[in-house]
């Protein structure tokens, strides 16, 4: 069972924060957070992402973009990426000491 999930994209202002909030809405007991490979650190969610999220009854209020780190990769049970982001090697390098970590694409396809 995965208890701590990290969602990764590039800027951490559109896709990953939206996916983070969506996962939290379905599984409120899990720890779900997001980060970016080239994060626009400190920025809130992009207006277009806020609009899309709102159309699905999700709020991106309070989101603050943050940069992924090796420590994050080791601290999460599951790391999800969108398949468009060149995150694979970065995440694998950071997660090499993790007890249980995986990198997946949407729909469960292994990266």
pTM: 0.78
| Residues spanned by the domain of 55 | 4-108
Percent of the chain with pLDDT over 70: 73
CA distance 111 to 107: 11
The pLDDT tens digits for 24-38 are: 999 999 999 999 988
Burial of 97 (0-12, 13-18, 19+ CB in 10 A): exposed
Sheet of 31-36, strand order:
31-36, 4-9, 78-81, 103-104
Please give the pLDDT value at position 8.
Answer: 87
Six-digit token string for 71: 């420590």
Cα end-to-end distance, the chain, whole Å? 20
Task: Count the domains in the chain.
Answer: 1
Structure tokens at 34: 């997001």
64 given a catalytic annotation: no
- 9 catalytic, yes or no? yes
Share of the chain above pLDDT 90, in %: 51
Q: What is the CATH number of the domain that holds 21?
A: 3.40.50.2300
Contact call for residues 67 and 41 (beta carbons, < 8 A): yes
Q: Which residue has the higher pLDDT, 44 or 107?
A: 44
Q: Which of 9, 14, 21, 66 is catalytic?
A: 9
| pLDDT at residue 95, as a whole number | 54
Catalytic residue among 14, 15, 66, 73: 15
């Amino acid at each position: 069972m995965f208890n701590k999930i990290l969602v990764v994209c590039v800027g951490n202002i559109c896709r990953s924060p939206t996916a983070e909030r969506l996962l939290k809405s379905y599984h409120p007991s899990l720890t779900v957070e997001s980060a970016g490979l080239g994060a626009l650190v400190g920025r809130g969610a992009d207006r277009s992402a806020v609009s899309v999220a709102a159309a699905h009854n999700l709020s991106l209020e309070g989101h603050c973009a943050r940069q992924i780190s090796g420590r994050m990769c080791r601290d999460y049970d599951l790391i999800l990426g969108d398949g468009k982001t060149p995150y694979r090697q970065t995440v694998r390098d950071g997660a090499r000491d993790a007890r249980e970590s995986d990198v997946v694409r949407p729909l469960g396809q292994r990266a």
